[in-house]
Amino acid sequence: MSDPTGENREPHRVAGFNTLELGAGLVVLALGLLVIVEARSYPWGTMRNVGPGIFPTLLGIVLSGLGLAVIAEGRLSRAIAPQVPWRAILAICAALASFAFLIDRAGAFVSIFALIFIAGVAERRFRPLMLLCVALGLCAFTAALVLGFRGIVNMDLLPGG
Amino acid sequence: MELFDNMMLGFTTALSWSSLLACLIGVTLGTFIGVLPGVGALAGISLLMPLTFNQSPTDAIVMLAGIYYGSIYGGSTAAILLNLPGSVTSAVTCFDGYPMAQNGQAGKALAMTTLASFIGGCFSIVLMMAFAPPLVAVAQSFGSPEYFSMTILGLLAASTLSQGSPVKGIAMVVLGLIVGLVGTDIQSGVARFTFGQRELLDGISLVVLAMGLFGVSEILINFTSLQQATSRQKVDTSWKAMWPTRREWRSTSGSMARGSVIGAVIGILPGAGAAISAFIAYSVEKRVSKTPERFGKGAIEGLAASETANNSAAQAAFIPTMSLGIPGSATMALLLGALLIHGVQPGPLVIQTNPDLFWGLIASFWIGNLLLLILNLPMIGIWVRMLMIPYHILYPCILFFICLGAFSARNNPVDIFLVILFGLVGYGMKLLQLPAAPLLLGLVLGPMAEEHFRRALLLSRGDASVFVTEPISAALLGAAAIIVAMSIRASLRKRRQVKAARQAA
């Protein structure tokens, strides 16, 4: 782990293809094919009176072709996946999800505390005091916003409010 | 004098209390976003867009535009003091701005960038006043085939000229066009790509998508790559230390003139934009200079040229966006999206149907640039202090504003879950090096492109050759084909180089 940016690592390859670029190309290709298949169920119409199916089908074909082009272009690429900060990703998604889950049930203050403290886990060093200050500051801000712009920002501040 | 009447109308609109306030909030928030490294204009605008939903369309666009060009003013502050661009557009500012700061001339560098930004901005506003009406007149003679071809050209240019692989750029534009089709088809009432979800019948919300793709994923990316840096530097912000001397004015006036023109030309073209214009202006300046060896060691000419160019380009980008309805960058696409949300159909008709919006926006540019001059010269000390905010305080706050924005748009917590989803998608795209900005461009233009496609075929009685038999449409498609051919050539050449390098190794 002495090389976090991965500049000097040799890229991973599958059958001579750069794995990362192959993955990108396959995702694009799969999406293109999905679009073509899905668009088949929409009325086609005529050339004169174009139905809802034609334009998506055309785009799907182009997208699939581009997927193949991405695979071909990236064959010799030296692209390397950076290290994924799993801890930060999980913490941040959990923080946002907790806010979404709590906002209608427990009000803004509780939600803000949940959001800020769970988000704080994203960093290796947990700083409870600083997070407390941030959370209190945002609570004050939200209170001012909700009370000052009633009708524009609608949020319950307290649980059961 | 028609222009005079129009500008009078513009200023009456822009000088109303609500517009003035919108402009002030916009440029202040923009400067703030620009100053902070790790928060770009795109993320800033998507975060703040829900704020504008209760305003009039004019105030909304004035504010969002203010955030955009304000962020370009602010971006230079971090570049000069930290050697870390606050936004991509000010990457070049680091080259000479940071050495100037190390020589104890931080105040002067900050003042120079503000003045240069102001001059570059003004140049392009004048250009917009002069050229937007004739451009609109040309565009009004366009029919559906021309429109369709112009959209294709704009999309291709915007997605291939930016950094990275052009193939991936085009792929993401096409994906964006498809995402733009999600929802009920207006002409036939058929629900497309909804997969039975009622939530999707209205289409995918631009705000939610942009917040996820640019807000959340940017935070996740910063956790992978952010250099932690804060500034404790003392900056002498006295008038005497900051104001350029007569000699400096003389040596930079030529640079600023060249920077303005380069910025404006590049800004009008789709795709290239403010960051590239700054690079080009800088290299031109280095070539023109009699003492090119000073560049990179604190040459004030280089600083002036790149800053005039990026602001000139930022303002010039509004010319095609507002007069043709074709955005050249994802930021401009967001602004058009905001107009659509407010029920204003972007395109050449805006100048007739909403003259107060069109000319009010231009007038607000003057006001906004003046405000920025005030915000960035006498009040520069405040922004310098902003740089002391560490990222571990910043990102929880950004997350909160994402929640606030996503929730208040419809008062529906489901939108926050969607933001998480798009944030993860955005991060995944970043890992696979698929650019997210073209996707947004396609999303905004998708429905329009399809409508013109259908209408063109209807009017030509099903004859698809109409796109190449109409001369203007054929020329536009020809230009698009040249762009595609050029990027294929560049890609093949790169491949050959890699192969040659491999064989040599």
A5 CA to centre of own chain? 22
Selection from B417, B146, B117, B421 nearest residue B256 by Cα: B117
Residue of A nearest to B218 (CA): A89
Q: What is the pLDDT along chain B (505 residues), one digit of tens a residue?
A: 678 888 888 888 888 888 999 999 999 999 988 888 777 788 888 888 888 888 889 999 999 999 999 988 888 888 888 877 767 778 888 888 888 888 888 888 888 999 999 999 999 999 998 888 888 888 888 888 988 998 898 888 888 766 678 888 899 999 999 999 998 888 888 888 888 777 788 888 888 898 898 889 888 888 876 555 555 566 666 777 777 888 888 888 888 999 999 989 888 877 667 778 888 888 888 888 888 888 888 888 888 999 999 899 989 988 888 888 888 888 888 999 888 888 888 888 888 888 889 999 999 999 999 999 988 888 888 888 888 788 888 889 989 988 988 888 778 888 899 999 999 999 999 888 888 888 988 898 888 889 899 999 988 888 888 888 888 899 999 999 998 888 888 778 877 887 787 777 6
Look-up of token digits 């659509």: B340
CB contact under 8 A, A73 and B403: no
Shortest CA gap A139–chain B (Å): 10
Using an 8 Å CB-CB cutoff, list chain A residues near B185.
Answer: 42, 52
Total-model pTM: 0.85
What was the pLDDT predicted at B237? Answer: 66
Q: Which residues contact A34 (CB under 8 A, 6 or more apart)?
A: A60
Q: What pLDDT does residue B499 have?
A: 77
- Are A46 and B171 a contacting pair at CB < 8 A? no
Do A102 and A110 meet the contact criterion of CB atoms below 8 Å apart? yes
**C-alpha distance from residue B151 to each of A31, A120, B271 (Å):** 23, 44, 13
Give the count of beta carbons closer than 10 Å to the beta carbon of residue B225.
12
Q: For strands A17-18 and A13-14, give the pairing.
A: antiparallel
Q: How many CA atoms lie within 13 A of B437 on its CB side?
A: 26
Query: Which chain A residues are closer than 8 Å to B457 by Cβ?
Result: 47-48, 50
Residue type at position B502 = R
Chain B residues inside the 8 Å CB shell of A122: 223, 395
Cα–Cα distance measured from residue B436 to residue B85, given in angstroms and rounded to the nearest whole number: 20
Q: Which residue among A31, A50, A138 places its CB closest to the CB of B175?
A: A31
Chain B contacts in chain A segment 57-86 (CB below 8 A): 59-60, 62-63, 66-67, 69-70, 73-74, 76-79, 81-85
Taking a contact as any Cβ pair under 8 Å apart, which residues of chain B between 486 and 505 contact chain A? 491, 495, 498-499, 502
CA A86, A109, B411: angle at the middle one, nearest 5? 80
Does residue A140 sit at the B interface (CB-CB below 8 Å)? no
First to last CA, chain B: 69
CA neighbor of B43 nearest in space, from B292, B185, B209: B209
> What distance, in Å, lies between the first and last C-alpha atoms of chain A?
50
Q: How far, in Å, CA of B283 to CA of B63, rounded?
A: 33
Other CB atoms within 10 Å distance of the CB of residue B132: 22
Q: Is B21 on the interface with A (CB under 8 A)?
A: no
pLDDT at B228: 54
Distances (CA, A) of B387 to B33, B109, B123, B360, B378: 11, 16, 30, 33, 17
B452 Cβ neighbours under 8 A, 6+ residues apart: B144, B145, B147, B148, B151
Q: Which chain B residue has the Cα nearest residue A105?
A: B413
| Cα A100-A101-A105 angle, rounded to 5 deg | 115
Looking at residue B37, its pLDDT comes to 74
- Tallying the residues shown for chain B, one arrives at 505
Chain B contact present for A24, CB below 8 A: yes
Where helices occur in B106-160 by DSSP H, the ranges are: 106-140, 144-160
Block residue for tokens 């870390």 = B84
Residue B389 pLDDT: 82
Q: Map tokens 């789709």 to a residue.
A: B270
Q: Does B200 touch chain A (CB under 8 A)?
A: no
Per CB-CB distance under 8 Å, the chain A contacts of B187 are 52
- DSSP H/E element including A33: helix A19-39
CA distance A72 to B226: 32
Inter-chain touch A88–B407, beta carbons under 8 Å: no
- CA atoms of B243 and B255, how far apart (whole Å): 17
Whether A104 and B413 lie within 8 Å, measured CB to CB:
yes
Q: What are the structural domain ranges in chain B?
A: 2-504
DSSP B85-105: -SSGGGTTHHHHHHHHHHTT-
CB contact under 8 A, A70 and B168: yes
A94 touches chain B (CB under 8 A): no
Among A68, A74, A113, smallest CA distance to A95 is for A113
- Give the dihedral of Cα atoms B268, B272, B276, B281; nearest 10 deg: -30
**Which tokens hold the place of B43?**
């993320």
B458: nearest Cα among B143, B183, B150 = B143
Q: How far is B179 from chain A (nearest CA, A)?
A: 10
Contact of B331 with B65, CB cutoff 8 Å: no
Which residue ranges in chain A fall short of pLDDT 70?
1-9, 150-154, 160-161
**Cβ <8 Å between B498 and A70:** no
String of DSSP letters for chain A: ---TT-TTSPPPEETTEEHHHHHHHHHHHHHHHHHHHHHTTS--B-SSSB-TTHHHHHHHHHHHHHHHHHHHHTTT----PPPP-HHHHHHHHHHHHHHHHHHHHHHHHHHHHHHHHHHHTTSSS--HHHHHHHHHHHHHHHHHHHHHTTTTS----STT-
B7 part of contact set with chain A, CB < 8 Å: no
Q: What is the pLDDT of residue A2?
A: 41
